Amino acid sequence: MLTGASSLPTLETPRLRLRWMTEADIPALFELFSHPEVTRYWSWSAYTERAQAEKLLGNIHKYFAERSLFNWGFARREDDRIIGTCTLSDLSGQHRRASLGYALNRAHWGHGYGREAVGRLVEFGFTSLELHRLEADVDPRNTSSLQVLEGLGFQREGYQRERYFLNGEIQDAVLYGLLRPEWRPGPASS
């Protein structure tokens, strides 16, 4: 997938730009992941040091080089400052599927940016990457994330009890999937 590319392609939506991140984005990445509400259901605890964001960016570049994980930053088009990230992971060319992840700076919740960015990622997965299936798992209490997926047409496929030890507790996961034939392009596509 994306054979020969040295970085991720830039993807546009009406309000956002999903793009490759560089060292200049480290302060914005740190701000994003240092808020405990953002990492409440995330796979790591809130950042406390800038070095953690530096390491994250290094891993994003490394995993892209390995083609094991595609991680875009997204910014509002007017200022290009990173306010969130969205990810395709568990990429499988053989099975034509990937998993989705996404996070938005706490200061920007409630404006539909999450849904807009994830919608563009879904479009990219099904069209440019020619995937057949996208999947995600979400804590059942993570209402806005459930809404983002359901709003994009993802179907609830299962429930896994006590799947993650995170933030001092054990968390359940609701499993979601969307198939290419079920997908309907939405207004996030540009």
Ligand X SMILES: CC(C)(COP(=O)(O)OP(=O)(O)OC[C@H]1O[C@@H](n2cnc3c(N)ncnc32)[C@H](O)[C@@H]1OP(=O)(O)O)[C@@H](O)C(=O)NCCC(=O)NCCS
Q: Which residues bind ligand X (CB under 6 A)?
A: 38, 41-42, 102-104, 109-115, 138, 142-145, 147-148, 151
Q: State in angstroms the smallest separation of the CB of 176 from ligand X.
A: 9
Residue nearest to ligand X (CB): 114
Nearer to ligand X, 2 or 112 (CB): 112
Nearer to ligand X, 32 or 57 (CB): 32
Q: State in angstroms the smallest separation of the CB of 29 from ligand X.
A: 13
Q: State in angstroms the smallest separation of the CB of 137 from ligand X.
A: 7
Strand partners, 164: 171
Q: How far apart are CA 110 and CA 66, in angstroms?
A: 35
Pair type for strands 16-19 and 133-138: unpaired
Give the closest residue to 120 by CA, choosing from 13, 8, 9.
13
List, as one string, the DSSP characters of 131-143.
Answer: -SEEEEEE-TT-H
Strand partners, 137: 175
| In contact, 125 and 96? CB cutoff 8 Å | no
Nearer to ligand X, 57 or 149 (CB): 149
**Residue 94, amino acid:** Q
Q: Kindly state the helix (H) or strand (E) to which residue 31 belongs, with its residue range.
A: helix 26-33
Nearer to ligand X, 14 or 110 (CB): 110
Residue 138 per-residue DSSP state: E
Nearer to ligand X, 2 or 167 (CB): 167
Nearer to ligand X, 50 or 111 (CB): 111
Phi (first) and psi of residue 22, to 5 degrees? -125, 180
* Placement of tokens 């994830």 in the chain: 118
